[in-house]
Amino acid sequence: FFFLMMRSTTVNSLLISKVAFFSVLLLHVNLIVLCLHPIICGSVQSSGIDHSGTKMYSFSDYQTSILTPTTVGDSQVKFCPFKAVNSLITLTTLRLLSYKSLFVPKRVSASASARVTVSLMRKSSPVSLQRLHSQLVDSNVEVDAEAAQKEKKALKDKKRKAAAEALEVVVIGLSHHNAKVEVREKLAIPEEKWSEASNQLCEQYDSIAEAAVLSTCNRFELYLSGQNQYECMRAAMDFLYERAGGTLDQVTLRRNLFMLTGEDAIWHLLKVSAGLDSLIVGEGQILAQVKRCYERGTAKDGRAGKVVSRLLNTAVTAGKRVRAETGIAKGAVSISSAAAEFTQMTLQRDCNIVTGIQDARVAIIGAGKMARLLLVHLHTQGLNKVVIVNRSKDKMAELQAEFPDMTIEFQLMDQLWEVIRESDVVYPSTSATTTIIDPEPLRACLASRSGPGGVQFVDISVPRNVHPDCGTVSGAFCYNVDDLKLVVERNTAKRRKEMIEAEHILREELGK
């Protein structure tokens, strides 16, 4: 090894030769210490207990005692200099032989050595290999933490570089204007997975620098930024096609999508946040949904950089201003209230109930936000009794406390078909990704129904909870969010003036 060290011509080979030379040297010294240990200490350890009553170690139990030292009574283990030297040499040899040690910063080695020195100075207990092993693990953890820090810094540099370059804004998606619910439901993403989808967009496609996702019952939109708008749109198309899982071909997907860039994209999002692009003009849910999109995009696991985050923040600010300075939100209806109003308009035709919804037997499937809003609007229309079917009864006490004047009966999902058989109106509003009401079970259920008229299903879920073929079942009248046009037209006509005032405000925000 000395010959190799002298013949080395590069810095790396010289370093490796020195490490190898001193490693072998230290191993020899280690063997000498192990041999001297039983010779010197053996004469005073024949009985295993010295005159002071302290436990000593013999050569035979050296390997086990160094890992799990024992004591006699409350006495402490006696410090052995040979074992300490042996442990120190072992630690040094392991450091030299570890390939990571060649690249460990000096400050890490210094901190580890300092800890060993402190341990050697403690005369109350020896330096065991177990403790030395933990010190080695600590030093490796420091190295791993430093590597993670470097990776985090590299990610920040990438974001800073992307922010410094000119990025173009792109909005791509589909809504109730150009895509039916059977297409929208194939791309829908639950809110808890918005950040996961935005991360997939940025990591899988180099052309997308920033991304945020908004998915509601009436729209699915991606807010993106990239250096090249065409490459960005092409990548988003690939993502949507992959998201559909083969259920939508390229032609159908392109026919239902809209793509906007630059000021057109910004103007679109401002109208969305203000409620001007909603199925129900002025409805308040969309502003809260855009705000949650902004919050998730700017969270630790979000991918809305400076461009997309500013776009979303501006949209939220504009939406709040429109609602504060115009009357567009006064008396406005949501999807839930539109469903309740729709039932009031069609109840006599479908269910043969003339007196009104207050005399109908109503059931709601699900106990989430949509169900709560339904209860609010049904109660204002005079309904005092309702049946809620849910997977659990966790929210029973909460809803009963919020609506003390209503009689709320809770049933679990295994009672679903019995509840449908005894109901006149059913509002499915769950977050299920597949249908929960299918044609064949529904046909068998309604065959044994004894009530007058049929059963009206107003499905306000996306993806739909009621199978499309259920409309062919005799006695079943099935509707979804796209069928609320009667309520939509009436609501839009009332808000023509407020819509014009709102657009003036949005143009001011666009010019800022």
The answer to whether 88 and 120 are in contact (CB under 8 A) is yes
In the set 80, 217, 293, 470, the catalytic residue is 217
Q: β-pairing, 455-458 with 258-261?
A: unpaired
Q: Please check whether residue 361 is in contact with residue 425, taking contact to mean a CB–CB distance below 8 angstroms.
A: yes
Q: Among residues 330, 286, 316, 326, which one has the least CA distance to residue 500? A: 326
Contacts of 86 (CB under 8 A, 6+ apart): 30, 33, 34, 37
Q: Report the chain's C-alpha Rg in angstroms.
A: 36
Measured in whole angstroms, the distance separating CA 410 from the mean position of its chain's CA atoms is 31
Structure tokens of 145? 């933490």
Q: Using CA atoms, how far apart are residues 463 and 221, in angstroms rounded to an integer?
A: 15
Q: How far apart are CA 216 and CA 191, in angstroms?
A: 9
Q: What angle do CA 431, 276, 491 make, to 5 degrees?
A: 80
Residues contacting residue 36 through CB under 8 Å, at least 6 positions apart: 82
Q: For residue 318, what are its two tokens? A: 């504009």
Residue 217: active-site member: yes
CA distance 104 to 159: 28
Q: Where are the beta strands (DSSP E) in 258-396?
A: 258-261, 362-365, 385-390
Q: What tokens were used for 16? A: 């490796």
The answer to whether the beta carbons of residues 201 and 232 sit under 8 Å apart is no
Asked whether 3 and 63 are in contact (CB, 8 A), the reply is: no
Active site residues: 217
